[in-house]
Amino acid sequence: MINRVKYNGQSDILKRGSLSTEAFEPAVRAILQDVKNSGDEALRDYTERFDHVRLGALEVSREEMQAACEHVGEDFMRILREAAERIRAYHSIQKRQSLMYNEPNGNLTGMMIRPLDRVGLYVPGGKALYPSSVLMNAIPAVVAGVPEIVMVSPPARDGRLDERILAAAAVAGVHRVFRVGGAQAIAALAYGTESIPRVDKIVGPGNIYVATAKKLVYGEVNVDSIAGPSEILVLADDSADPEFVAADMLSQAEHDEMAGSVLITDSETLADQVEREIARQTQAAPRRAIIEAALTNRGMIILVDDLAQGVRLANEYAPEHMEICTREPMTWVPQIRHAGAVFVGNYSTEPMGDYMAGPNHVLPTGGTARFFSPLGVDDYIKRTSLLYLSRRGFRELGEDVMAFAEAEKLFAHANAVRVRLAREEES
């Protein structure tokens, strides 16, 4: 069921398939253009076609939101509030402040931090139900100070959204919620319709049509990333608990059939034990079919010569989630260069990060941890540089700026400085 190999330096041992959207682009382009031209009418038509419900009002009312909070029960609301508080506390330390630097000659340079005016949060429907992702996507925006957070999600056949999703939106601080999903929802957020306002950035995962739509509207608006399948890599030695390791690998495998679950170890004994544990735990798993497909497609146990080699391989893979289950796990942390999130020690299981620990669970997938970071407050702000030159500071820089501009044959640039220097000489 799970592949097992001895690493011998092969470069493609953890090669992933690429996420191609090309085949879906013609259909998605048509949807985007239709929504751009026809607005709410197109949204209702596509919702009827794909979600099998004809909608009246697209927006979820405040009363519906309140009713959802009451119906999910106080226990679930308590969990949502506790998770939200921990996520808020973690992201609050990320918040930047505007800054100014004064030079002795009176010049002032600086950076102004401003939140985006409006962001759109896409929440999947269908077989996916992730109120935790509502918290993770919305709360950093609230911390950043975004004035308006708009959420879209595909409705069920009765035209309603899941109450747990609505409750999470209420707890997180989402301002407006609309019952529309798919590529048509991305189009609405990108272009605006009669009901749904245009946003500055779209965040949140979705199916291949949503991913394609986000790719195509990028530039019209900003987007977070084009997310691929979830994945975990566990680095472990013979001190690791095989039951724990197997459980953590299955926790990712149950996401979908293309999720990745990888163990890298220098212990053949542990590899044997984990393989047996995976087989045992899979037998009792409610999502057994999905897990078995995922382990067959992208599951792997890799034996390495030593943990140093394992770390090098892990950095090449750049996993979304990485667990370090070794005798002295903190000694390896400084050597991890490429990972979306690192979970240190036997009790830092990845699901703790998914729900309650505080760090964001929206992470770079598919090896993009080499250059992308977890979702955070910085994703909801923009930086504006600030410059003030005193007359003295202007004079000190003027001649050099003119020479620089003329070297680039931008003579009007040089002249903008020259006319001011001439005025200074007259005074």
Domains 3-15+228-357 and 22-223 share a fold: yes
Mean residue pLDDT of the chain comes to 95
Q: What is the pLDDT of residues 267-312, one digit of tens each?
A: 999 999 999 999 999 999 999 999 999 999 999 999 999 999 999 9
Domain extents in the chain: 3-15+228-357, 22-223, 391-426
**Can you identify the CATH homologous superfamily of domain 3-15+228-357?**
Nitrogenase molybdenum iron protein domain (3.40.50.1980)
The residue type found at 371 is F
Task: Give the pLDDT confidence score for residue 40 in this predicted structure.
Answer: 98
Which portions of the chain are predicted below pLDDT 70?
A: 17-19, 127-128
Task: Give the pLDDT confidence score for residue 12 in this predicted structure.
Answer: 81
Task: Give the pLDDT confidence score for residue 1 in this predicted structure.
Answer: 80
Backbone angles phi, psi at 67, to 5 degrees: -65, -40
Distance CA 324, CA 235 (A): 5
Task: Give the pLDDT confidence score for residue 365 in this predicted structure.
Answer: 93
Q: What is the pLDDT of residues 384-417, one digit of tens each?
A: 999 999 999 999 999 999 999 999 999 999 999 9
Considering the candidates 163, 277, 320, 323, report the single residue annotated as catalytic: 320
* 275 annotated active-site: no
Distance CA 210, CA 325 (A): 36
Task: Give the pLDDT confidence score for residue 285 in this predicted structure.
Answer: 95
Q: What is the pLDDT of residues 103-135, one digit of tens each?
A: 999 999 999 999 999 999 999 987 668 999 999
Q: At CA 304, angle to CA 299 and CA 307, rounded to 5? A: 110
Which of left, alpha, beta for 190 (phi over 0: left; psi -120 to 50: alpha)? alpha
C-alpha torsion angle, residues 189, 25, 224, 152 (rounded to 10) = 30
Considering the candidates 231, 254, 292, 321, report the single residue annotated as catalytic: 321
Exposure of 247 in the CB half-sphere (CA atoms within 13 A): 11
Task: Give the pLDDT confidence score for residue 271 in this predicted structure.
Answer: 98
Q: What is the pLDDT of residues 77-88, one digit of tens each?
A: 999 999 999 999
- What is the SS3 string spanning the chain? CCEEEECCCCCCCCCCCCCCCHHHHHHHHHHHHHHHHHCHHHHHHHHHHHHCCCCCCCECCHHHHHHHHHHCCHHHHHHHHHHHHHHHHHHHCCCCCCEEEECCCCCEEEEEEEECCEEEEECCCCCCCCHHHHHHHHHHHHHHCCCEEEEECCCCCCCCCCHHHHHHHHHHCCCEEECCCHHHHHHHHHHCCCCCCCCCEEECCCCHHHHHHHHHHECCEEECCCCCCCEEEEEECCCCCHHHHHHHHHHHHCCCCCCEEEEEECCHHHHHHHHHHHHHHHHCCCCHHHHHHHHHHHEEEEECCCHHHHHHHHHHHCCCEEEEECCCHHHCHHHCCCCCEEEECCCCCHHHHHHCCCCCCCCCCCCHHHCCCCCCHHHHEEEEEEEECCHHHHHHHHHHHHHHHHHCCCHHHHHHHHHHHHHHHHC
Task: Give the pLDDT confidence score for residue 13 in this predicted structure.
Answer: 85
What is the bridge-based pairing of β-strands 148-152 and 118-122?
A: parallel
Distance CA 229, CA 211 (A): 12
Distance CA 40, CA 185 (A): 10
CATH 3.40.50.700 holds for 22-223: no
* 52 annotated active-site: no
